[in-house]
A and B are shown apart, each in its own frame.
Chain A
Amino acid sequence: MKIQEFLNENIKEKIISAVTDNGLKVFFMPKVGYTKQYAIFSTNYGSIDNTFIPIGSNDQITVPEGIAHFLEHKLFEEPDQNIFDKFSELGANVNAFTNFNQTSYLFNCTDNFYENLELLIHFVQNPYLTDENVDKEKGIIAQEINMYEDNPNWRVFFNCLKTMYINHPVKIDIAGTVESIQTINKELLTTCYDTFYTPSNMALFVIGDLSFDEIMKTVNKIEKTRDKIVEKVEAIFPIEPNVVESKIVVEKMETAIPLFYMGFKDHDLGLHGNEQVKKDSVTNLILEMLFGQSSVFYNELYDEGLIDTNFGSYYTGKKTFGHSLVAGQSIDPDLVFNKIKDLINRPVEEVLKEEDFIRIKKKNLGSFLMGLNSIEFIANNFVDLYFDDFNLLDYLSLIETIEFDELKERFTQHLTVDNLVLSIINPLV
């Protein structure tokens, strides 16, 4: 077993890693003096990975919407014990989440860490699916879907994605629909599990005042033995047209003030590692300069009463999709939309200033350092970036390499009216 160590002197943090015989990558970040201990066990499999060639098959299949999330719920099922009870008995809080590109299982505790870790690995690696327990889950997930359906902030966000993407499955609701989950069964779940829950497609990240030796001992003891290391399976994505032509989608629901999401679709895709994270950071710097609380744009619209402090923007992207989102609530979303169009049509020298760039980089530096106080922030971001082939500890040095000119280029190419869509939720009355 080869042990690697990544040390960042500047921020006084390090990460140790090793790969098990079965091909599972394990990471550990020591946090001396911390009371809480945290582990997250993730697979690089999320709601968008719904078309693929299953392991052991030659035929491509498309599975029902929401199946990755459904599987997340079902892994908590065990034949002889209630997994929630087990963690509770050990004083741990266990949870899980599914997003576009990963499913993660996690717990935190202040004691009995290694026993909890055993449990975590055990329940994720040993699914127990029956027709009966799969059916029973449908009512619970239907309620979860209904809860999101009633949330105008969630709806305005997903309407935006649904308008922006024609074919890409990022437009699909993560939990699926009440109808789509009815078609999920034990066999389909098993197929997804066997394909995407292989050790080479997963990562385990542990953080706290703990010992790496003990962690590896626990992992090696409990990990399911495999005959051979299976290659990672990549999902298959449809061809996605570029142009979205300022499409607008409007819906009415129970809310007080109109809500909006504007999205710029990214065409610069297929990157990974340093390049991907750099593009991400460059784009987020631009958005902060254009729409952040220290921007002229923000302050003008705020003074005019067009936006509130919940106005904000961010870029998010993976290998096969990416978008910048500008969101908030406004008495006149159409006017905000027009003002944004005007802003991005102006010459780049007018809207992006080097002094703002330097100042916002400074802000990112401090914010990242403060983020390192939180073990949850570290763990969740580490895993997310790991699946993009990037080490979180390299983040600050990457920010340092960003040149102002790179922002100008990206602005011209990415923030255009052709790439833009608008989603609005209006009040019922």
Chain B
Amino acid sequence: MGLKSERIKLGNGIYLNAIKTDKFKSSLLSWYFIRPLKREEVTKNALIPLVLKRGTTKYPNSLEIQKKLEELYGSNLSASINKRGDRQILRFTMEWANGEYLNDNDYNFETIEMLKQIIYNPFTSENGFKKEYVEGEKQVLKRRIQSRINDKRSYAIERCIEEMCKKEKFSISSLGYIEDLDGIDEFNLYEHYKEILETSPIEIFYVGNYDDEFIDYLKTNNSLERENLVSIPEEKIISSVQTKNMIEEEFDINQGKLVLGYRAGIHYEDSLYNGLIIASDILGGGPNSKLFKYVREEASLAYYIGSKVYKYNSIMLIDSGIEFENFQQTIEIVRKQIEDMKLGNFTEADIQVSKRSIRTSTESIKDSIFLISEFFFSQLISMDNRSLEEIILDFEKVTKEEIVQASNKIIPDTIYFMKNKRKEV
């Protein structure tokens, strides 16, 4: 049984997407605001969800908001900021338990109103946000940016992307920049917030059970008439490597973090793109992959090693945690495995395993209310209207030749290595 998204226009650049399912014990509603990924606004965008969660006209502080959410049977409000290619996405989501299990069938309208309060009715004073909230959240954001180092694996990956994509928008951090915080106050942030409401493409997603009356309710309450929308440029994909980079950074750590950045330059609409995904999966997709086998199981060099393709700019990253002195040996093994992919030294069984693994993870989307919403949103921004089933079928069709062809487009660009500061004893 396939999932379908019913798409309804609510105004200029604002759409409601409803996906009907009665499988879950909850419903989910999300607002996605799409912004161009730009250094000038990235830090402000990152602050917005934080400030909006501090207070609304009806619930003037976090305490009141939290109490209300708990009253609504722990309705789960989340707001996030991330990037998809050269776009920055602000997401506001509410998930709430179905009233039929609680003998409280009408509270869902209250929950939806609560989400809208957060998004559209922030606590303001004199044409600005509340000063204390903005200043407080600037500190929170600053600490969050500083704390990226706590997760050394993801920090190393981000650093590799920053260095590798230096000349591309994609290198911009979606969390924003500490040095830009000083220029932000309650007034210019509020101006920017109004700009977001007025000019961003908005996609609203509902996943759950519904009837016509419910859709009418969502329609009539969320129409917005707006004039000029911000243009969201398509990302440019770089397929050649200008300068090869080797970045080393020293920290006080026990384990080295190695990230190898490659360019494939295959656009996600290109027929070779699926071949690239399978190539990356055979190489480092899971515990049956070549890198896992040769780097971990055979050479005992690492606990984790994996490979991942970044869809929108078609780069591939391989990352692993290793002893500092095993740097060269690990790189040699990776190089040899990529060479083998290019030469077609992999079996039909490898391909089948990868296809099955991709099928399993694609089909699994159907069991998560959140992933369903994320999937349809992602399809929208890449202007891809294939269903999950069609995506799986397209992967089934990929041939060995295509995988080899795609592999041959993989070129090394940047090596990032996080190593130990301490001198050997």
Residue-wise interface mask of B (130-158) relative to A, using a CB-CB cutoff of 8 A (1 in contact, 0 not): 00100010011001101111111100000
Alpha-carbon gap, A143 to B301, bound state (A): 8
| Any B CB within 8 A of the CB of A110 | yes
Render A143-171 as a binary contact track against B, CB cut-off 8 A, 1 for contact: 11011011111000000000000000000
A82, A256, A257, A329 — which one has the most chain B CB atoms within 10 A of its CB? A256
Cross-interface CB contact of A91 among B132, B149, B360, cutoff 8 Å = B360
Contacts of B143 in A (CB 8 A): 256-257, 308, 329
CA distance A212 to B399 in the complex (A): 39
With A82-B288, A256-B150, A370-B76: A362-B70 Cβ-Cβ less than 8 Å: yes
Note all chain A residues with C-beta closer than 8 A to B300.
136-140
Q: Name the B residues within 8 Å of A33 (CB-CB).
A: 1, 23
Contact between B26 and A93 (Cβ–Cβ < 8 Å)? Answer: no
- Cβ-defined contact, B357 with A93, below 8 A: yes
Q: Determine whether A269 belongs to the interface, using a CB cutoff of 8 Å to chain B.
A: no
- The CA of A367 and the CA of B74, in the complex, are separated in Å by 6
Inter-subunit contact A257/B147 (CB<8 Å) = yes
Contact with A along B157-182 (1 / 0, CB 8 A): 00000000000000000000000000
Known: A146-B254, A372-B25. A366 touches B102 (CB 8 A): yes
Q: A151-B151, A375-B367 are in contact. Are A366 and B97 (CB under 8 A)?
A: yes
Contact, CB under 8 Å: B97 / A150: no
Contact (Cβ within 8 A) A299 B150: no
Interface residues as binary, B100-138 with A (CB distance below 8 Å gives 1, 0 otherwise):
011000000000000000000000000000001000100
- CB of A304, distance to nearest CB on chain B (Å): 9
A95's nearest neighbour on chain B, judged by CB, is: B287
Contact partner of A299 among B1, B61, B352, CB < 8 A?
B61
The answer on a CB contact under 8 Å between B288 and A85 is yes
Chain A window 364-395, contacts with chain B (Cβ cutoff 8 Å), 1 for yes, 0 for no: 11110110111100000000000000000000
CB distance from B21 to the nearest CB of A (A): 9
B49, chain A: closest CB distance, angstroms: 11
B147 contacts A329, C-beta separation under 8 Å: yes
A275 contacts B by Cβ under 8 Å: no
B39 part of interface (Cβ distance < 8 Å)? no
Known contacts A256-B149, A257-B143, A364-B74; is-contact A370 B97 (Cβ 8 Å): yes
| CB <8 Å contact, A143 and B323 | yes
Q: Contact at B95–A93, with CB atoms within 8 Å? A: no
| Shortest Cβ distance from residue A123 to the other chain B in the assembled complex, whole angstroms | 13
List the B residue with the shortest CB-CB distance to A299. Answer: B63
Contact B253–A84 (Cβ < 8 Å) = no
Chain B residues 262 to 289 lying within 8 A of chain A, measured CB to CB, are 286-288
Which single member of A11, A296, A367 contacts B63 (CB below 8 Å)? A296
**Is B302 a contact partner of A369 (Cβ separation < 8 A)?**
no
Bound-complex Cα distance A12 to B100 (A): 11
Residue of A at shortest CB range from B71? A359
**Measured between C-beta atoms, what is the minimum distance from A393 to chain B in Å?**
14
- A91 engages B296 (CB within 8 Å): no
Knowing A366-B73, A366-B97, A369-B101, say if A91 contacts B146 (CB, 8 Å): no
Q: Does A286 contact B (CB under 8 A)?
A: no
- Encoded as 1 (CB less than 8 Å from any B CB) or 0, chain A from 9 to 40 comes to 01110000000000000000000011110000
Whether A294 lies near B67 (C-beta < 8 A) is yes
**Contact (Cβ within 8 A) A254 B357:** no
> CA separation between A353 and B363, bound complex, in Å?
46
> In the complex, which residue of chain B has the Cβ closest to the Cβ of A367?
B74
With both beta carbons as reference points, the residue of chain B lying nearest to A92 in the complex is identified as B360
Complex CA gap A92/B255 in Å reads 30
- Contact status B71-A362, CB under 8 Å: yes
Closest to A208 in B: B367
Of all chain A residues, the one with the shortest Cβ separation from B256 is A146
Q: How far is the CB of A360 from chain B (nearest CB, A)?
A: 6
What is the minimal beta-carbon distance from A417 to any residue of chain B, in angstroms? 27
Q: From residue B153, how far is it (CB to closest CB) to chain A in Å?
A: 8
B203 to chain A, nearest CB (A): 23
Q: Is the CB of B26 within 8 A of A369?
A: yes
Number of interface residues of A (CB under 8 A): 69
CB pair B357–A305 under 8 Å, yes or no, is no
CA distance A375 to B369 in the complex (A): 12
With CB as the reference atom, state the residue of chain A lying closest to B140. Answer: A308
Cα A388 to Cα B396 with chains together (Å): 45
Find out whether the CB atom of B74 lies under 8 angstroms from the CB atom of A366. yes
A residues in contact with B152, CB < 8 Å? 150-151, 254
- B364 x A143 contact (CB < 8 A): no
B286 CB to nearest A CB, Å: 7
A35 touches B364 (CB 8 A): yes
| B210 on interface, CB distance cutoff 8 Å | no
Q: Does A43 count as interface, using CB distance less than 8 angstroms?
A: no
**Which residues in window 338-387 of B have CB below 8 A to A?**
349, 352-353, 356-357, 359-360, 363-364, 366-369
User: In the complex where A108-B364, A302-B62 touch, is A143 in contact with B321 (Cβ < 8 A)?
Assistant: yes
B310 CB-CB contact with A under 8 Å: no
What residues on A are CB-neighbors of B405 within 8 Å? none
A106 interface residue, CB < 8 Å from B?
A: no
Any B CB within 8 A of the CB of A255: yes
Which residue, A91, A150, A369, has most C-beta atoms of chain B within 10 A?
A150
CB of A60 within 8 A of chain B?
Answer: no
Within 8 Å of chain A (Cβ to Cβ): is B248? Answer: no
CA of A146 to CA of B325 in the docked complex: distance in angstroms?
A: 14
Determine if B359 and A91 form an interchain contact, defined as CB atoms under 8 angstroms apart.
yes
User: Does A352 sit within 8 A of B, measured CB to CB?
Assistant: no
Give the docked Cα–Cα distance between A10 and B26 (Å).
Answer: 15
- A144-B352 Cα distance, complex, nearest whole Å: 30
Contact A299–B70 (Cβ < 8 Å): no
Considering only CB atoms, which chain A residue lies closest to B155 in the complex? A254
Is B43 engaged at the interface, CB distance under 8 Å to the other chain?
Answer: no
Q: Does A191 contact B (CB under 8 A)?
A: no
Residues on A with C-beta less than 8 A from B97 are: 365-367, 369-370
Contacts of B75 in A (CB 8 A): 366
B98 contacts chain A at the CB level, 8 A cutoff: yes
Task: Mark A257-277 against chain B: 1 for CB-CB distance below 8 A, else 0.
Answer: 101000000000000000000
Contacts of A152 in B (CB 8 A): 150
A428 within 8 A of B: yes
A305, B136: Cβ atoms under 8 Å? yes
B102 touches A294 (CB 8 A): no
Could you say which of B26, B323, B360, B368 contacts A110, with CB atoms under 8 Å apart?
A: B360
Indicate if the CB atoms of A365 and B67 lie closer than 8 Å.
no
| Assembled-state Cα–Cα distance A149/B357 (Å) | 32
Residue of A nearest to B149 (CB): A256
Name B321's contact: one of A82, A147, A254 (CB within 8 Å). A147
A88 lies within 8 A of chain B by Cβ: yes
What's the nearest-Cβ distance from chain A to residue B364, in Å? Answer: 5
> For B102, what are the chain A residues with a Cβ–Cβ distance below 8 Å?
365-366, 369
A-B contact list, 27 entries, CB within 8 Å? A35-B366, A88-B356, A89-B349, A93-B357, A111-B356, A137-B300, A140-B303, A143-B301, A144-B303, A147-B303, A147-B321, A150-B255, A151-B150, A153-B150, A254-B152, A256-B146, A257-B147, A293-B62, A294-B67, A302-B136, A305-B136, A359-B71, A362-B71, A363-B69, A366-B102, A369-B26, A369-B98
- Counting from the closest, the 6 A-B pairs by CB-CB distance are A366-B73, A139-B300, A363-B74, A256-B146, A91-B356, A88-B288
Beyond A84-B288, A363-B69, 20 extra complex contacts between A and B, CB < 8 Å: A11-B101, A35-B364, A36-B367, A84-B287, A85-B288, A89-B353, A91-B356, A139-B300, A139-B301, A143-B322, A150-B253, A150-B254, A254-B252, A255-B147, A292-B66, A293-B62, A296-B63, A329-B147, A359-B71, A373-B369
